[in-house]
Structure 1
Amino acid sequence: MKTYQAKFVTPFSVLGILTEENTLVGIDFLPLNTLPLAPQDEVSTAACEQIAIYLQDAGYCFNLPMSLRNATPHRMKVWESLKNIPSGSVLHYGELAKTLHSSPRAVGQACGANPVPIIIPCHRVLAKNGLGGFMSHSGGDPLQIKKWLLRHEGIQ
């Protein structure tokens, strides 16, 4: 069982905020009926404040200290590229793969392994002929969250 430092209510999910040693290490999408938890430290406070701003202004650029524990060199390249996709824009897995000299599948796997969705906007990457996946899922609630985030940013 994970110990969250905050549980922040959004229109699409309750976000479980995980921090360690003054850095953000994860964000989990919890069911909407999850009880909120006030931030327990400075980083979770900053994360909740910045997410609240993003929910009001889809163009907001996050500035949080992060430790991406499951990072590989390839994942880091993908995640850095994701941070450069502006709000209101999307790329296809193949387009991103081409710029990184990778494959669409490897880019999709890196997106699915993203420990801090929303902050690193993996929702801005789509399949060539549709929505694609989100959080390593191809249906259900995760795709509803992806659709909500894209609509929030003026896409679809």
Structure 2
Amino acid sequence: MVDVAFGSVPTPLGDVLAAVTPDGVVATVFQDSDAARRRLLGRLGVPGVDDPARTAHALDELAAYFAGELREFTVPIDWRLMSTMQRRVLGALYETVPYGRVTTYGDLAGSSGSGVPARAIGSIMGSNPVPIIVPCHRVVAGNGLGGFSGGDGVDSKRWLLTLEGYLPPTLDWEL
């Protein structure tokens, strides 16, 4: 039987929760809470376990990313919460859009070979179960940042893109 271990790391955007199965990170959530953990357990249909050793690599990498010290995640990803289409689009994003770069919804629609229109790419980004590690914040609209369903919405997207150097810091920006 598969199970999931939880851990969280404090970040400027809140305590980021990582859910890790024996296969890898299956989900990240911007705000750790008992409700978020229960929702994930319900979606996965597996028990939760206390296994700090399993979550350590993911939490170390998330902490390093938010400290501005990590540019590429190496932690394995468990893609099981994604449909075939989500995996195709999010997999293309994960493999082709590096730290500090962005792509547009339309360009990702084309490069993923999914046949999905740009508007639907936005829905796939909004349902990404592994934000930050699978960097949906790096997908922008042709005329601006576009939307973002994680954390505090577009403000969180702006913060992540500033951390990565894509956007210039504002006067009140802090790491």
Shorter-chain TM band: 0.7 to 0.9
CA deviation profile, 1:55-94 (whole Å, cap 9, x unmatched) = 2346521112222233122111111111120111111101
Question: Structure 1: which 5+ runs fail to align?
Answer: 32-38
Aligned match of 2:139: 125
Check if 1:93 corresponds to 2:94. Answer: no
Aligned match of 1:41: 52
Output the CA distance in 2 between the equivalents of 1:16 and 1:125. Answer: 22
Check if 1:145 corresponds to 2:159. Answer: no
Over 3 Å off, 4+ runs? 56-59
Question: Structure 2: which 5+ runs fail to align?
Answer: 33-49, 168-175
Aligned match of 1:73: 84
2:165 aligned partner, one-letter code: G
CA contact under 8 A between 2:5 and 2:52: conserved in structure 1?
no
Kindly name which structure, 1 or 2, has the bigger radius of gyration based on alpha carbons. 2
Aligned match of 1:20: 21
Residue-pair matches, total: 145
Output the CA distance in 1 between the equivalents of 2:12 and 2:157. Answer: 12
Taking only aligned residues, the RMSD between alpha carbons, in angstroms, comes to 2.4
- Overall identity of the aligned pairs, in %: 34
Shift of 1:111: 1.0
1:85 aligned partner, one-letter code: V
Shift of 1:126: 0.4
